[in-house]
């Protein structure tokens, strides 16, 4: 996948709002909210800013498949192992610290090639949801601002991993385990943050984190 080709497509999109004006790399950097110097380095290294591009596509209602693969969504076979159907909630953030918003109906369905995602854990379901991480308590595993991919079919906390949990105080992303006294413990990877105990009636496991794209 070549960043230069993606940039040229982004320029075509941006040019629609700059009729008659030439679009430069700096305009693409601005549209993606990336400093020009950083963007120039990424271009030189062919380092694709996936998170910023996903945000841009959601804002402009552009097909990610067209941008990355020259494919219209209706050209994809939903059952193929190569692509994952993702409901992208651009406004939702699972808190790694305090409470966060709950899932709503404001999402965009996108199809993403598995090569975009890394750190995949037992990927089996091809219908996933993507939300943002807000906070530092899951560092270094998950960075503040990362996009995580959630499999709602995996809710068994007895299996190791990171889960999204809906509580009375909001949405959390934590390692979760059941204590001997029946309480549910939310555990951070950042040792600065102590575990939190919640009554089982006050928590619902939304799903398991099966992949992520780090904030750049």
Neighbours of 26 (CB within 10 A): 11
**0.85 exceeded by the pTM?**
no
For 75-213, CATH number out of 3.40.1010.10, 2.10.109.10, 3.40.50.970, 3.40.50.10800 equals 2.10.109.10
Sequence-distant (6+) residues with CB within 8 A of 1 are: 48, 68, 115
Query: How confident is the model at residue 2, as a pLDDT?
Result: 86
Query: How confident is the model at residue 93, as a pLDDT?
Result: 64
Q: Residue length, the chain? A: 216
Helix H or strand E segment including 31: helix 25-31
Using an 8 Å Cβ cutoff, are 91 and 69 in contact?
A: no
Paired sense of beta strands 203-213 and 196-198, if any:
unpaired
pLDDT digits (tens, 9 = 90+) for 196-207: 999 999 999 989
Please determine, for residue 77, whether its predicted confidence score (pLDDT) is greater than 50.
no
For the chain, what is the mean pLDDT?
79
Please tell me the number of Cα atoms within 13 Å of 20 on its side-chain side. 0
The residue ranges of DSSP E strands in the chain, in sequence order, are 83-95, 108-113, 127-134, 147-151, 162-167, 170-178, 184-187, 196-198, 203-213
pLDDT digits (tens, 9 = 90+) for 4-62: 889 998 988 888 777 667 889 999 999 999 999 999 999 999 999 888 888 888 777 77
Please determine, for residue 114, whether its predicted confidence score (pLDDT) is greater than 70.
no
Query: How confident is the model at residue 187, as a pLDDT?
Result: 94
Tokens at residue 121, please?
Answer: 């854990």
- DSSP 3-state assignment of 119? coil
Using an 8 Å Cβ cutoff, are 5 and 46 in contact?
A: no
């Amino acid at each position: 996948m070549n960043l230069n080709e993606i940039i040229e497509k982004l320029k075509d999109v941006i040019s629609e709002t700059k009729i008659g004006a030439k679009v430069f790399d700096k305009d693409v950097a601005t549209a993606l909210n990336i400093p020009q110097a950083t963007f120039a380095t990424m271009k030189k290294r062919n380092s694709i800013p996936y998170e910023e591009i996903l945000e841009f596509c959601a804002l402009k209602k552009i097909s990610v498949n067209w941008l990355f693969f020259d494919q219209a969504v209706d050209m994809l076979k939903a059952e193929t192992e190569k692509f994952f159907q993702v409901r992208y909630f651009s406004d939702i953030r699972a808190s790694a610290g305090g409470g966060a918003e709950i899932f709503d109906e404001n999402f965009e369905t996108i199809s993403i090639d598995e090569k975009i995602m890394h750190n995949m854990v037992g990927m089996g379901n091809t219908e996933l949801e993507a939300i943002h991480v807000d906070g530092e308590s899951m560092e270094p595993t998950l960075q503040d601002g990362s996009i995580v991919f959630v499999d709602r079919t995996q809710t068994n906390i007895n299996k190791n991993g990171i889960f999204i949990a809906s509580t009375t105080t909001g949405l959390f992303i934590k390692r979760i385990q059941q204590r001997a006294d029946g309480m549910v413990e939310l555990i951070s990877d950042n040792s600065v943050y102590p575990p939190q105990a919640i009554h089982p009636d006050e928590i619902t496991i939304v799903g398991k984190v099966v992949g992520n794209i780090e904030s750049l």
